Structure 1
């Protein structure tokens, strides 16, 4: 069974604060031209997408430098749905990484936050603290999430942030977000990709195959059509 884990690409869809808006403008229509063609305008990190190391690291690998097999991963799903807005996902929430099946090379963090997609609350997702991200990086695992990213996302302008929710003493972030993006840096710095803005992780099992193939770009990110395949 194959499950769609991607958000639809539509005009005005949510984007990370400061990123370009998404638009799909008609260029030709069946009524006037006999065929249909549109112009898609978006940032490379719009919607369900993948981050390459070059996204954060000046000397990091770009997407086109990866073998295509790097975008097909065996995931262990980590259930974090009990966590509230801007809660810290600490290292003790992770499974025993040494005991994972040898085939597993990605952790899929399941927060259920995709239900907030399209609302201001989507920015208030739980996030990995540096100690958790570093543990994942040390294990050589990629990360996939149903949130805007592994680090906190800045709140909607004027909205209060619950800074007390960041509970790990080793955390270098605040619940407001931090331009150092320590979780990104740990995982991308280990040469592993990050898949963000997934949806529908409840449809797959605890272990599943994630296929998230990007465009072949000389860049740090690309939208993907992510699917989960039951194992």
Structure 2
């Protein structure tokens, strides 16, 4: 992978996908079909934290920036992949889990957790 290569990492949105405990469940149901309507449209219902997403400062701070106020450039950079596959579901990630990768975590690096 070169620095100029962009890798898109989204999860597919689908009905019943895993969500954070207490968040609304997701659903995707057909609203129009090519066979009947000449076009395809789905009706989506989901919480804002569903699927692949980035939490903007406004998620945690009343006067924080929203995602649309953040420059796109901060979401691009060299990734440091941290293998956390040995952790069980919902197990806390500790600094000790990240230490083996510390030498690769330079300013501006993007931490990507493989879980």
Aligned counterpart in structure 1 of residue 93 of structure 2, from 89, 92, 112: 89
**In structure 1, what is the Cα distance between the partners aligned to 2:20 and 2:87?**
21
TM-score by length of 2: 0.74
| Structure 1 or 2: more strand by fraction | 1
Report deviation, 1:34.
Answer: 1.4
Per-residue CA deviation, residues 91-136 of structure 1 (Å, 9 max, x unaligned), is: 2332464x4375752222223xxxxxxxxxxxxxxxxxxxxxxxxx
Equivalence for 2:12: 8
Distance 1:80 1:18, change over 3 A: closer
Equivalence for 2:23: 19
TM-score by length of 1: 0.41
Cα RMSD (Å) of the superposition?
Answer: 2.6
Distance 1:88 1:27, change over 3 A: closer
Unmatched 5+ stretches in structure 2? none
Equivalence for 2:104: 100
Distance 1:70 1:104, change over 3 A: closer
Distance 1:84 1:15, change over 3 A: closer
Distance 1:38 1:102, change over 3 A: same
Aligned counterpart in structure 2 of residue 56 of structure 1, from 40, 46, 60: 60
Contact 1:74 1:103 in 2 (8 A): no
SS of the counterpart of 1:50? Answer: coil
Equivalence for 1:47: 51
**In structure 2, what is the Cα distance between the partners aligned to 1:90 and 1:101?**
15
Larger relative contact order, structure 1 or 2 (CA cutoff 8 Å, min sep 6): 1
**In structure 1, what is the Cα distance between the partners aligned to 2:105 and 2:96?**
19
Please tell me whether residue 76 in structure 1 is matched to residue 83 in structure 2. no
**In structure 2, what is the Cα distance between the partners aligned to 1:3 and 1:64?**
21
Distance 1:84 1:6, change over 3 A: same
Distance 1:8 1:91, change over 3 A: same
Per-residue CA deviation, residues 188-231 of structure 1 (Å, 9 max, x unaligned), is: xxxxxxxxxxxxxxxxxxxxxxxxxxxxxxxxxxxxxxxxxxxx
Unmatched 5+ stretches in structure 1? 112-231
